[in-house]
Structure 1
Amino acid sequence: MEALPRETIVDVLEDRLRTDILDGLHPAGSYLPPERRLADGYGVTRTTLKHAFGRLAQAGLLETRHGVGTRVRDYARLGGADLLPMLVRHDSGWVREVFEVRRGVGALIAERAAERGTRPQRAELGALLAALPRAEGADAVQLADVEVHRALARATGNRVYVLLTNTLFNAYLPVRSLLQGPFTDPEAAHRRLAPVVEAVTAGDARRAREAADTYLRDTERIMLEGLA
């Protein structure tokens, strides 16, 4: 067994600052109060504050200019998809928007995979699908399902689709344990996904897109019911 990680004061402060920024207490474009005043307000040292600033700057929420101060970035205008896990953790309403993109991108990926997939890639898809009903437990079934979708993205021959697939899975990673409804029954999970893989391996692009759209809508509905 692995020991659970312990929260440090920097972890707590980072979370508090992130929440205050995303809640609008520190609006986009505004400068944070001077470090000494901010540190006193949160009851931490300036060193702790600097460490938290560094993490939030790396996450894309803050930017520090020497001699000027630390400003909240306009993440809605300048940020990228790498912010999604943080935003989902803060507000689960983002999950619905992630799923909308998941439907559109996922259906297109299945279509492209049917058009472009090589024989080895189609064989890999079949093997990954066959492994799904043998997975034990909802978490393992969910991860096995994820690997099928990663393989579908690779079969498109377009590396951007692979990165988009990774981004979308990473986006709802913070609430993944609440989205295991479609994966509690391995056989049912296999039946839902099988038409997608079968259409792709048959090279039927239209059927692959339709099957993927059905699969994505069905699993989205089940997952959102669980989240609610």
Structure 2
Amino acid sequence: MEALPRETIVDVLESRLREDILSGRHPVGAYLPPERTLADGYSVTRTTLKHAFGRLMQAGLLETRHGVGTRVRDYLRLGGADLLPMLVRHSPDWVEEIFEVRRSIGALIAERAAARATDRQRTELRTLLTAVGDAPDADAVQLADIEVHRALAHATGNRVYVLLTNTLFNAYLPVRAALKAPFTDAQVARGRLEPVVDAVVDGDEAGARRAAEGYLTATERIMLEGLA
């Protein structure tokens, strides 16, 4: 059993402020009320407020101008992909957009991996595919499946693909428990992924792209049905 996380008052305040920003209560470009007013409004100390502000500034939602105040940042214009987990927690609608990117990037990664994978990487892909079929439950199957995709990204020889893969997986971690439907049967999950690995191992670039597109489209549909 996993211990439940214990939220501090800073955690609660950060979450409340984040939702108020993303929901438009504090619109983009607007300055927040003075710290004393906000602290009183949320019934917290100014020290607690400053800690929450620090987290939200680090996340890219707020910016402070000395002597002027704290303003809501235009995260869609200035933010990065590291905001995605936060945005998914705010609204699951983001998941469909993440999956659209997952399809296009995943297909390209498979194609590049087929062209560039080393013999060691091909062997590793076979081993990781076997681990998908041997995983004991849906959670373990899902995690084993993720490792295959990480290995495909590494096989491209391009570290940016690796980081993009990590970013996309991290993006839907907040709702991962609701996305287990394609992984409830380990052997079926392995069978879906096997054509991708086969094509990459065979060096079939076009085949790898087609197989990846088919796999990503099928699993996306199942996961979105489960999320709904």
Specify the SS of the correspondent of 1:129. helix
- Matched with 1:107 is 107
Percent identity among equivalent residues?
77
Partner Cα separation in structure 2 for residue 102 and residue 4 of structure 1: 31
How do 1:150-165 and structure 2 match up within 5 A? 150-165=150-165
Q: Residue in 1 aligned with 2:126? A: 126
Match of 1:65 in 2: 65
Query: What is the CA-CA distance between 1:29 and the residue it aligns to?
Result: 1.0
1:152-179, Cα deviation, whole Å (9 max, x unpaired): 0000000000000000000000000000
Alpha-carbon distance in structure 2 between the residues aligned to 1:117 and 1:176: 29
Distance in structure 2 (CA, Å) of the matches to 1:181 and 1:145: 13
CA RMSD of aligned residues (A): 0.7
Residues 91-130 of structure 1, C-alpha deviations (whole Å, 9 max, x = no match): 0000000000000000000000000111101110011001
**Per-residue deviation, residues 17-70 of structure 1 (Å, max 9, x unmatched):** 000000011111111000000111111111110010001011110111221111
Scaled by the length of structure 2, the TM-score of the pair is: 0.99
CA distance in 2, matches of 1:111, 1:159: 15
Determine the structure 2 residue equivalent to 1:206: 206
- Equivalent residues, number: 228
2:186 matched to which residue of 1? 186
* TM-score normalised per structure 1: 0.99
TM-superposed CA distance for 1:3, in Å, is: 2.9
Matches within 5 A, 1:139-154: 139-154=139-154
Gaps of 5+ in 1: none
What is the identity, as a one-letter code, of the residue corresponding to 1:81? A
- The residue type equivalent to 2:114 in the other structure is A
2: CA distance between counterparts of 1:3 and 1:92?
25
Moved over 6 A (4+): none
Shift of 1:2: 4.7
Distance in 2, Cα, partners of 1:225 & 1:172:
15
- The alignment partner of 1:67 has SS state of coil
| CA 74–157 in structure 1, closer or farther in 2 if over 3 Å, else same | same
Trace 1:18-33 onto structure 2 (pairs within 5 A): 18-33=18-33
Name the SS for the 1:48 alignment partner. helix
Distance in 1, matches of 2:121 and 2:191, equals 20
3-state DSSP of counterpart to 2:136: coil
